[in-house]
Chain A
């Protein structure tokens, strides 16, 4: 037995050596991770689906595509169309002439961008065989033609004062379009960045053309892990898709800087107006008065939102600037009593997103205060969204993202836009609203559209097919040595053009 014990003790030594070796390997791996990086890394919740401007519909694709390609038209801070790589004139209401800037930009393959490239890009979008999701926004285009190398003309079927705002497709080289280049994985544009590689599904590499700095876009779906990667320096920057409690926690960390900027993503409660209960305007107004948005914004969203009064934010050229229905629980109770709906039971549908669910739970509690019993149901995104589009709901919450043009009102509220033709999912049918939408569309200029659009927004606040909640802020988190990023209202990444890493002692 003594011998055996002695041997067992001896047998423990290799184990200790193995543990020591493991620690050494781990330490060496740790050292390797601390080697300073040359590139700048941006963390994303989801990777772009495609880098082809003709097919991009998701936010991540749209934001990366903006870095790779240039557009004829951009939007200013009031969402007014402004010249991108071309300014324009309107010789006739149905003819727009775009003059490319001089000197003309160059594609990342060295070729100079010419009018023929613009024509080829838009003809490709308009070609049914391309299957572009953006074709419908250009259905008013009768023809597009190049006049020399510097001028492009668009001929329209009918006048459209909003037309320049529709020309936001990234311009691709004509030769490559004709050669059938796969722009979704091998993009070539004239933007400030060029494509380097997409080595894995979760990693995309671009290079800034002005100074050759490499950027890596890394997908990390879990927000906590994304934040931990920033804290450890594996990622330099992240934007949005963070739970409010993580944002509050990050604000107190020295390694990072947190900034927030006003956004235009509009969150709302939607109702089924064909339902006997939610079809009653008094009930919808009672719900609007019962929701304490200030409290929700402060305590649930961590002060990363501002109250909303309609789809278009106040800074939008057509925005009304109203902050919506004020919190007034007494008025809410009075309205409920007036229609005998005390104790009413409403099914409220939302997605399984933790923040959405938390907000829905808080709203459920607030509505209980005035005597509405909310049956909260959360579903995975596909099921939830399918139900909403099918009109299978009483009440739901959603957001409109990236809205720039006021044509959204026809799409969401006109009586001809009931599903499946449009997104009037609550079956809102109102002749006054219809007339105002049509008046705005018939106006010959954007200033002339403002009055009917303001009247329309006031009408929507009266009828309340939606209860406006808030506009969500954009939150940007960066390592403390990162400088130059400016948050855009639509959350684009354009200011990566100016981002740099500063050394110790730099300002």
Chain B
């Protein structure tokens, strides 16, 4: 177990380091001058040079990079070139919003996917199955930038039930969470259906039925528990993607999260903020996936993390 954790930690650090190097080089390679953004286009060359020197942007790229990692080791993410506020402070404001939205989106996805997937598997080949799968196809097919405004139109403008956008109370979380969760629900429900169908054909299910267990116990206690194992892996990956990829939803709903901040900062060439956002996303991704691996081992006793048994089977 300890060996497994150490190996995961090492690979996680390598991934995060690789991502940070790549982002650092890419964002500095993109045309556009942050000093221009800060001082405005009527600034004079002397002022621009002065500010460039003050920010260390006049240094060669390797020197800037070394300085960046030196500060990173002190947990100093730097100061935003644009707003001149500490980057850590900005992230601390934005990350809870993204986390809230990602968790809510995941909850919506599970709430939709579980009943749909189970229903489709249990009523395989019927209108229920077709209906559930058609819904999932719709969910995947409608992009978030269309789904978001459609939901706003119906639930905010026509019905007047929910706020259009912003982060102002629980009501404002509903539409972005549905937008985000629907596409994921579609993928999950198809996966649950497939794995459940496979599980329902196993001998232990026949045994359970033969023992006279009620159908819901057969499904919940036996079939679904095993069917959910591969779904767990997908969920882990998707939560990581939700933490990183809520950009469109955040923009449509003016949700003040990390995705929106990353895009804004790329446009402004705000190097420290872009680097910190990507770093945060990478760390979240790696962390969630490591936790998924751990959970996988806990849920399935046959899986021994890093042990010999797993290798010999």
| Residues of B126-155 whose CB lies within 8 A of A | 149, 152-153, 155
Please judge, given known A-B contacts A26-B155, A225-B164, whether A202 and B256 are in contact too, CB under 8 Å. Answer: yes
List, in ascending order, chain A residues with CB within 8 A of B214's CB: 4, 7
Contact between B82 and A49 (Cβ–Cβ < 8 Å)?
A: yes
Min distance, Cβ B51 to any Cβ of chain A, angstroms: 6
List, in ascending order, chain B residues with CB within 8 A of A423's CB: 41-42
Contact between B50 and A225 (Cβ–Cβ < 8 Å)?
A: no
- Contact partner of B36 (CB less than 8 A), chosen from A224, A229, A389, is A389
- Contact partner of B174 (CB less than 8 A), chosen from A26, A136, A229, is A26
User: How many Å lie between the Cα of A136 and that of B51 in the bound state?
Assistant: 14
Stretch in contact with the other chain, from B4-12, B25-33, B60-68, B226-234: B25-33
User: How many Å lie between the Cα of A382 and that of B82 in the bound state?
Assistant: 14
User: How many Å lie between the Cα of A42 and that of B35 in the bound state?
Assistant: 30
Contact between A220 and B166 (Cβ–Cβ < 8 Å)?
A: yes
Contact between A228 and B157 (Cβ–Cβ < 8 Å)?
A: yes
- Contact partner of A228 (CB less than 8 A), chosen from B39, B85, B164, B268, is B164
Please judge, given known A-B contacts A202-B256, A221-B254, A225-B252, whether A383 and B162 are in contact too, CB under 8 Å. Answer: no
User: How many Å lie between the Cα of A395 and that of B94 in the bound state?
Assistant: 40
User: How many Å lie between the Cα of A442 and that of B31 in the bound state?
Assistant: 39
Please judge, given known A-B contacts A7-B216, A382-B31, whether A133 and B40 are in contact too, CB under 8 Å. Answer: yes
Q: How many residues of B contact A (CB 8 A)?
A: 58
Min distance, Cβ B71 to any Cβ of chain A, angstroms: 21
Please judge, given known A-B contacts A11-B216, A32-B171, A131-B54, whether A232 and B155 are in contact too, CB under 8 Å. Answer: no
Contact between A200 and B167 (Cβ–Cβ < 8 Å)?
A: yes
**Is residue B169 within 8 Å, beta carbon to beta carbon, of the partner chain?**
yes
User: How many Å lie between the Cα of A12 and that of B169 in the bound state?
Assistant: 31
**Is residue A222 within 8 Å, beta carbon to beta carbon, of the partner chain?**
yes
Min distance, Cβ B25 to any Cβ of chain A, angstroms: 16
Contact between A383 and B32 (Cβ–Cβ < 8 Å)?
A: yes
Min distance, Cβ A307 to any Cβ of chain B, angstroms: 25
Which residues of A approach B to under 8 Å, CB–CB? 4, 7-8, 11, 15, 26-27, 29-30, 32-34, 49-50, 55, 57-58, 128, 131, 133, 135-137, 184-185, 200-203, 218-222, 224-225, 228-229, 231-232, 234, 380-383, 385-387, 389, 411, 420-421, 423
Q: A136-B47, A231-B157 are in contact. List 12 more A-B contacts (CB 8 A).
A: A26-B155, A29-B161, A33-B160, A136-B42, A202-B254, A219-B254, A234-B163, A382-B30, A382-B32, A382-B267, A383-B32, A387-B31
28 contacts between A and B (CB under 8 A): A4-B215, A7-B215, A26-B161, A29-B162, A29-B169, A30-B161, A32-B169, A33-B162, A49-B82, A49-B83, A50-B83, A55-B84, A57-B38, A57-B39, A131-B50, A136-B43, A136-B44, A184-B85, A202-B254, A218-B166, A221-B254, A232-B160, A382-B268, A386-B31, A386-B32, A386-B33, A421-B45, A423-B41
